[in-house]
Structure 1
Amino acid sequence: MANMVQVTNLFNYDNEIGTSQKPPKLLSLADYPNWKDHFDQFVSWIPILEGYTHPTYSWMGKDDVSKPVSALTTEEKQLFDREKKAMASISMSLPKEIYHSFKQFKSSQQLWEALEKRCEGSLDVMKSRKDLLKKQFSVFNHFQNESLDDLATRFYHLLSELSSASVVYEAEEINDKFLESLPSKFDVYSVLIKEKCQIQNHAS
């Protein structure tokens, strides 16, 4: 049973962050900010950010005929392959129920922008999300009987979401907030750590 749990956890972890050969999975639209961070590390962004237009040529009096892949130059083939990889990576990242809403988009840039618009929403939605995350940071605290590892995991997850929303706190604020969130049995250690940090700050 323990081995089964370990395999399941490893599978979920691989789905979340991806591997060298497999893009991370977007498990839900609500998890988009975390997925975007992991995806950023996986795929080449040039076709997505700059867009991709397949080369064309004139053929039998017709202009703008799509150039066969076999006729692409070395540079054109590299760009074509990167676009295909970017498109495939995004598509593979989306569960069927989510991809169904975006399958009409035929380029990585179009698909990415549509997904971004759907998940990040309007400026008002983004502002509301920032305000909510700031509030979560300000009231962050330990749960009853929560382990230190679980507390740290929750805290770093919140920091990741804040970073994705471009909400920045000073290192001192982050350290103080985490120390304040610790159970009362750690109060002595928290005070000692704060005093040490203050001494170091004054010394520098």
Structure 2
Amino acid sequence: MTANGPVLKVSLIMLEDEKAHGYLNMCLSTEITKTIKEYTATKAIWDALVEFEGNLDMREIRKEMLNGEFNMFNHIQGETVTSLINRFESSNTKMRSAGLIHEMSEINKKLLNSLPYTWNSNVTTHQENHESEHNNSPRVNLHHQIIRDG
């Protein structure tokens, strides 16, 4: 039984490493996965991710870029509302992961103001009907309300 002990231990370590590798791959965006695809060992992937994050200056520059992206966010000509909302949520997810947290009312206002001009009457009606809810309503509910009301 002692002869199988080391083999079993190595097998369990390999299984845990495979699980960790799988978790990392599931959690990473496609953009990041492309940059680390040459790494096969979980430890090497982790080290590459730490390096990918960058030093303090790089993180600050990334935060400034994400804030700029948020401030300049607007619809793209011909874009569907669903696509706009997905892009908006992706931008917000990146900001949260970088430690940038905006007030819910600011996020909701930005989303409403980024809708196409043809939605102006819908936005005004929505703002009048839900003024008290805007400060606290979750983005997901606002997204569904915009799609439903549109």
Q: Shorter-normalised TM-score: what interval?
A: 0.5 to 0.7
Q: What is the rounded CA distance, in whole Å, between the counterparts of 2:47 and 2:22 in structure 1?
A: 16
Q: CA RMSD in A?
A: 3.2
Structure 1 residue ranges without an equivalent (≥5):
1-66
Q: How does 1:42-57 map to 2 (within 5 A)?
A: none
2:88 is aligned to: 155
Which of 16, 22, 44 is the aligned partner of 1:82?
16
Larger Rg: 1
Percent identity, aligned pairs only, is: 27
Q: What is the rounded CA distance, in whole Å, between the counterparts of 1:122 and 1:90 in structure 2?
A: 21
Which of 7, 31, 38 is the aligned partner of 1:69?
7
Q: Does 1:113 align with 2:51?
A: no
Determine which structure has the larger helix proportion and give its number: 2
TM-score of the aligned structures, taking structure 1 as reference length: 0.50
2:58 is aligned to: 125
* SS of alignment partner, residue 198 of structure 1: coil
Structure-2 change in CA distance of 1:152 and 1:122 (3 Å): same
TM-score of the aligned structures, taking structure 2 as reference length: 0.66
Whichever residue aligns with residue 83 of structure 1, its letter is: D
Structure-2 change in CA distance of 1:113 and 1:198 (3 Å): same
Determine which structure has the larger strand proportion and give its number: 1
Q: Does 1:134 align with 2:67?
A: yes
Shift of 1:130: 0.9
Shift of 1:200: 4.4
Q: Is the 8 A contact 1:91 1:99 kept in 2?
A: no
Structure 2 residue ranges without an equivalent (≥5):
136-150
Whichever residue aligns with residue 85 of structure 1, its letter is: K
- Number of residue equivalences: 126
Q: Does 1:198 align with 2:131?
A: yes
